[in-house]
Amino acid sequence: MITLKINGSPRQFDGDPEMPLLWYLRDVVGLTGSKFGCGMGLCGACTVHQDGVAIRSCVTPVRGVVGKEVTTIEGLSNDSHPLQKAWEALNVPQCGYCQVGQIMQAASLLKQTPKPTDKDIDDAMTGNICRCGTYQRIRAAIHLAAKEKA
Amino acid sequence: MKTIDNSSRRSFLRQAFGAGALVLGARVLPTRALAALETAVFSPNVFVGIKSDGTVLIVAHRSEMGTSSRTMVPLILADEMEADWKRVKIEQAIGDEKYGDQNTDGSHSVRSFFSVMQECGASARSMLEQAAANQWSVPVSQCKATLHQVVHSPSGKKLGYGELAAAAAKLPVPDKSKLIFKKKSEYRYIGKDLPVYDLSDITHGKAVFGMDAKVDGMVYASVEHSPVLGGKLLSFDDKEALQVPGVSRTVEIPAFKPPHAFQALGGVAVIADNTWSAFQGRKKLKVSWDPGPNASYTSSEYKQQLQATARKPGKVVRNVGDVDKGFAAATKILEADYYVPHLAHAAMEPVVAVADFRDGKCTLWAPTQNPQAVQDTVAAAVGIDKKNVICNVTLLGGGFGRKSKPDYCAEAAILSKQLGKPVKVVWTREDDIHFDYYHSVAALYMKAGLDQSGKPVAWLQRSVFPSINSTFALDVKSGSAGELGMGFTDTPYALPNHRAENGEAVNHVRIGWLRSVANIYHAFAVCSFADELAHAAGRDPKDYLLDLIGPPRLVDLKAQGVDYPNMGPIEQYPVDTARLRKVVELVAEKSGWGKRRLPKGHALGIAAHRSFLSYIATVVEVAVSPAGKISIPRVDMAVDAGMIVSPDRVRSQFEGAAVFGASLALMGEITATAGKIDQSNFNNYPVVRMNEAPLETRVYIVESDAPPAGVGEPGVPPFAPALCNAIFAATGKRIRELPLSRQKLV
């Protein structure tokens, strides 16, 4: 039995501690906001925060987050994070599947770099694939959120 | 209540699930499986209903995969009926032929349903006005529906839609010929930029995709397929697989019977109580296959065969004048071979489906572009009537054509029938890449003869590719009229001598529709070759392209003996060179063609292409570093898609098309070795990431009253040739094979 902290709430898990956090969140806890895209940490659809920093939950075993604060999109904000507002203001999503991972990645970026340059955004966001091709609006939304937040 | 009788289905579902038993993702959505309008008191047709509290229910019968169909098709109806969009609730339709075509492909949701939605909205509005007139005992001409209420103009009396619904339900549905439609100037929502219905759910992780579907008592399955198409299962050993915690059993799925169509491929399924255990168990399976005849398929050899075929005469599919005489009279001959490899769709959500087979019926929750095809496919797979297949459509995490082929739904249904419980089949990314219905590989041969002034006097083009028709029939060797009509038989150039030929090719993998389909390789060859001719003639490529397109006219392909399906009635949607010229001129002006000062190593390329009845011209600015590294600082696209519903969503589709086009041009390539696909995940089938994407895409929409054409796909085809034409301008190197990652620029 291990104890995890997900979105501020402690949870007990007696399953395989090697299970990736993504599948624990989705299939065991029922938090389906984080998405499965590649299973190898290549696409970023599964991005969540560990102690406020973006990680790929599809390649992180649950044993690895014992004693850490895990935050998913469901726990990112009480209402709307500035990034979620910016995403909506600029109509960023198309299919929307990757956008949770994009927002979680961007939230991690803004925490460390409140005023990111285009280069900062490229460096932080390049691990997150959007097959619909919304990158231009993602970039604009990050800049917008950074401006609004300041 | 005038909605379609669905009582037998409803009582079944109540029995099957009980109230609240059905859980879709984080939200309980029991109505998903019910008739969409069953709570309405007034429902003059299958697309709209009004509840007594005034909520207007509008059915989205098209699938949402990012193009905004789920919002923008209902929005047409809402606008026409004067509904307040804030009081509209969208209900996603199950698969049912009563809605007409539900196959969300071919960029035709708005095109095919604009007038249907208008008629449904105008009918409802007219009946509400009549109901108010009856209640007030006044002439209906004095009653006007305005933003969710009917107003009696002389007195200012008002009645809300909810108050009128029950009375309206008793009135006859007016004849179509009696309907009065709103004028364009009266539109409230069409032409404005309303956000998509699911926007906030998407940004908050609450949107329900197929991957998120969950039913009580459900088990999870991962399926091992033959690595080669059509391989036979010889034996399998599941001892170790069954030892993985969470794995309960394995199930053999019978192999498909050729032609494969949308049948389950067949293989061995590992069943577990969560997705990860199913994946882990599957890795422990030991399976032995007889690969069968498709093991002969190796891409490098196949490429040579296609190219050799393209160098030989093929079946003539368009003929104007006499190209041989033209070549004999020409002063300069140009020849070029073009090649585009297979591509995979690689939607962010791998294919996935939940099926629950019980009591002779099968209910599915699936991210599908075509729920009626799910009904047909599942019915055949589990031996029931299609009316007993209930397909609930979730949001799609991308589709691009892959999710119009419901083989994964058949897998889930077969397993559920066998196991007697609901089953969720989840494909890994590796499955998604290995067992796609690939965009076809193609080889093209182009030959032109120029006269002394550089004008083309003869133009020969040959296209060779395995056809999508091989999905549905055996021994298919030729391209279909539909595929050839995508940028090959309909080349709209003014050429005195012009011949198009199709050579034979046999498929060895599943071939399928991918965003813009055969237009990709046809536009690549035709638009690149136009640029080659311009340079050979020493002319500006944009000016030369306009000369090639020739004077404004309607190209009469039928008179030239072309079997040309178009994608809509040719009278309504002719091949209009005036519109093609206009987008070329517009994009040239907006991109600063010939005028913009560019940094060293930067250059512009242009391409124009009509597809899905829309006219697109693209200018790509490329930057090639001294080391030969490509980046794309800017893309300009001019779009004439006829009348459009949402300018912002049209722009977004073209921004996305630039990225999709960049992926296939820069790095998209699927290859096979001994019948097995070499790529497996985003490490070896890369798609464009933020740092490789066009930094800025500017979209210019031509204001048009022409009938709505297509938006989702036509931005893709001109991108690759425009990029490669820009690379030629920057480096002098002509790119005739994709992807660019295979090419050395310096």
Query: Cβ–Cβ of A37/B274 closer than 8 Å?
Result: no
Mean pLDDT score, B381-406 = 98
Q: Which of B742, B728, B702, B668 is nearest to B520 (CA)?
A: B668
Q: How many CB atoms lie within 10 A of CB A10?
A: 8
CA–CA dist B503, B467 (Å, integer): 11
* Residue of chain A with shortest Cα separation from B663: A131
Where is pLDDT greater, at B205 or B17? Answer: B205
CA–CA dist B274, B420 (Å, integer): 17
* Residue of chain A with shortest Cα separation from B646: A91
Distance from CA of A25 to the nearest CA of B (A): 11
pLDDT value, residue B506: 97
Q: How many CB atoms lie within 10 A of CB B53?
A: 12
pLDDT value, residue A149: 76
A58: its two tokens: 């599809």
CATH 2.40.10.120 fits A82-149, yes or no: no
Which residues from B are below 8 Å from A35, CB to CB? Answer: 209, 211, 348-349, 397
**Per-residue model confidence as pLDDT tens digits over A81-118:** 999 999 999 999 999 999 999 999 999 999 999 999 99
Pairing of strands B498-503, B456-464: parallel
| B653: Cβ contacts below 8 Å, ≥ 6 apart | A94, B67, B711, B712, B715
Pairing of strands B247-253, B23-24: unpaired
CB-CB: which of B26, B279, B693 is closest to A32?
B26
The DSSP result for B35-58, as a single string, is -TTTT-SEEEETTEEE-TTSPEEE
CB-CB: which of B203, B277, B349 is closest to A97?
B349
Burial of B217 (0-12, 13-18, 19+ CB in 10 A): exposed
Instruction: Reply yes or no on whether the pLDDT at B107 is more than 70.
Output: yes
pLDDT value, residue B12: 31
CA–CA dist B275, A32 (Å, integer): 13
**Nearest-5° Cα angle at A88, A82 to A94:** 130
DSSP tag of A13? E
| B670: Cβ contacts below 8 Å, ≥ 6 apart | B341, B342, B343, B344, B433, B436, B438, B677, B678, B679, B685
Chain B residues 236-275 with a CB less than 8 Å from chain A: 245-246, 274-275
CB-CB: which of B245, B396, B681 is closest to A38?
B681
Query: Cβ–Cβ of A129/B206 closer than 8 Å?
Result: no
pLDDT value, residue B39: 83
Instruction: Reply yes or no on whether the pLDDT at B430 is more than 50.
Output: yes
Q: Which of B248, B246, B233, B219 is nearest to B286 (CA)?
A: B233
pLDDT value, residue B2: 32
Query: Cβ–Cβ of B690/A125 closer than 8 Å?
Result: yes
**Per-residue model confidence as pLDDT tens digits over B486-542:** 999 999 999 999 999 999 999 999 999 999 999 999 999 999 999 999 999 999 999
Termini Cα distance of chain B: 71
User: Above 0.95 for ipTM, yes or no?
Assistant: yes
What is the interface size between A and B, counted as CB pairs within 8 Å? 190
Cβ of residue B695 closer than 8 Å to a chain A Cβ: yes
CB-CB: which of B195, B652, B690 is closest to A88?
B195
Which residues from A are below 8 Å from B689, CB to CB? Answer: 126-129, 135
B592: its two tokens: 């600063």
Instruction: Reply yes or no on whether the pLDDT at B322 is more than 50.
Output: yes
CB-CB: which of B199, B200, B348 is closest to A131?
B348
Burial of A79 (0-12, 13-18, 19+ CB in 10 A): exposed
CA–CA dist B415, B500 (Å, integer): 47
Which residues from A are below 8 Å from B659, CB to CB? Answer: 130, 132-133, 135
Which of B276, B429, B697 has the highest number of chain A CBs within 10 A, making it the mutation to test binding with A?
A: B276
* Residue of chain B with shortest Cα separation from A135: B690
Cβ of residue B207 closer than 8 Å to a chain A Cβ: yes
**Per-residue model confidence as pLDDT tens digits over A57-83:** 999 999 999 999 999 999 999 999 999
**Per-residue model confidence as pLDDT tens digits over B597-645:** 999 999 999 999 999 999 999 999 999 999 999 999 999 999 999 999 9
CA–CA dist B85, B148 (Å, integer): 9
Share above pLDDT 90 across residues of chain B, in percent, rounded to a whole number? 94
* Residue of chain A with shortest Cα separation from B199: A88
Instruction: Reply yes or no on whether the pLDDT at B33 is more than 70.
Output: no
Q: Are B92 and B213 in contact (CB under 8 A)?
A: no
Which residues from B are below 8 Å from A27, CB to CB? Answer: 220, 274-276
pLDDT value, residue B37: 84
Residue B4 banded pLDDT, cuts 50, 70, 90: very low
Q: Are B22 and B392 in contact (CB under 8 A)?
A: no
CB-CB: which of B195, B656, B682 is closest to A132?
B656
Q: How many CB atoms lie within 10 A of CB A2?
A: 14
DSSP tag of B270? E
B357 in helix, strand or coil?
strand
Mean pLDDT estimate for chain A: 97
pLDDT value, residue A150: 65
Distance from CA of A67 to the nearest CA of B (A): 23
**Per-residue model confidence as pLDDT tens digits over B249-268:** 999 999 999 999 999 999 99
Per DSSP (E only), the strands in B86-218 are: 88-92, 143-146, 149-152, 158-160
CA–CA dist B488, B186 (Å, integer): 41
Which residues from B are below 8 Å from A72, CB to CB? Answer: 205
| b (16+ CB within 10 A) / e for B369-396 | bbbbbbbbbbbbbbebebebbbbbbbbb
Mean pLDDT score, B273-288 = 98
Mean pLDDT estimate for chain B: 94
The DSSP result for B540-557, as a single string, is -HHHHHHHHH-SS-EE-T
Question: H-helix or E-strand containing B446?
Answer: strand B442-450
CB-CB: which of A30, A88, A132 is closest to B199?
A88
Cβ of residue B346 closer than 8 Å to a chain A Cβ: yes
Name the region of A83 (left: φ>0; alpha: ψ -120 to 50; beta: rest).
alpha
Domain residue spans in chain A?
A: 2-75, 82-149
Residue B31 banded pLDDT, cuts 50, 70, 90: very low
Cβ of residue B195 closer than 8 Å to a chain A Cβ: yes
pLDDT value, residue B27: 32
Query: Cβ–Cβ of B274/A27 closer than 8 Å?
Result: yes
Q: Which of B573, B576, B604 is nearest to B588 (CA)?
A: B604
pLDDT value, residue B35: 64
Q: Are B351 and B423 in contact (CB under 8 A)?
A: no
* Residue of chain A with shortest Cα separation from B352: A36
CA–CA dist B515, B401 (Å, integer): 6
Q: Return the CATH fold of A2-75.
A: Ubiquitin-like (UB roll) (3.10.20)
**Per-residue model confidence as pLDDT tens digits over B204-227:** 999 999 999 999 999 999 999 999
pLDDT value, residue B7: 28
Which of A136, A138, A139, A143 has the highest number of chain B CBs within 10 A, making it the mutation to test binding with B?
A: A136
Instruction: Reply yes or no on whether the pLDDT at B737 is more than 60.
Output: yes
Mean pLDDT score, B708-723 = 98
Tell me the domains of chain B and their CATH numbers.
36-195 (3.30.365.10), 210-291+351-426 (3.30.365.10), 299-344+437-742 (3.30.365.10)
Instruction: Reply yes or no on whether the pLDDT at B579 is more than 90.
Output: yes
Among positive and negative, which fits the CA dihedral B86, B89, B92, B97?
Answer: negative
Q: Which of B493, B642, B484, B498 is nearest to B565 (CA)?
A: B484
CA–CA dist B199, B315 (Å, integer): 49
Q: What is the 3-state secondary structure (H, E, C) of B402-431?
A: HHHCCHHHHHHHHHHHHHCCCEEEECCHHH
CA–CA dist B521, B718 (Å, integer): 10
Cβ of residue B199 closer than 8 Å to a chain A Cβ: yes
Instruction: Reply yes or no on whether the pLDDT at B400 is more than 70.
Output: yes
B669, HSE (Cβ side, Cα atoms, 13 Å):
19
As separate numbers, helices (DSSP H) first and strands (DSSP E) second, chain A gives 5, 5
Topology alike, domains A2-75 and A82-149: no
CB-CB: which of B220, B687, B697 is closest to A129?
B687
Q: Are A54 and A108 in contact (CB under 8 A)?
A: yes
**Per-residue model confidence as pLDDT tens digits over B642-657:** 999 999 999 999 999 9
**Per-residue model confidence as pLDDT tens digits over B146-164:** 999 999 999 999 999 999 9
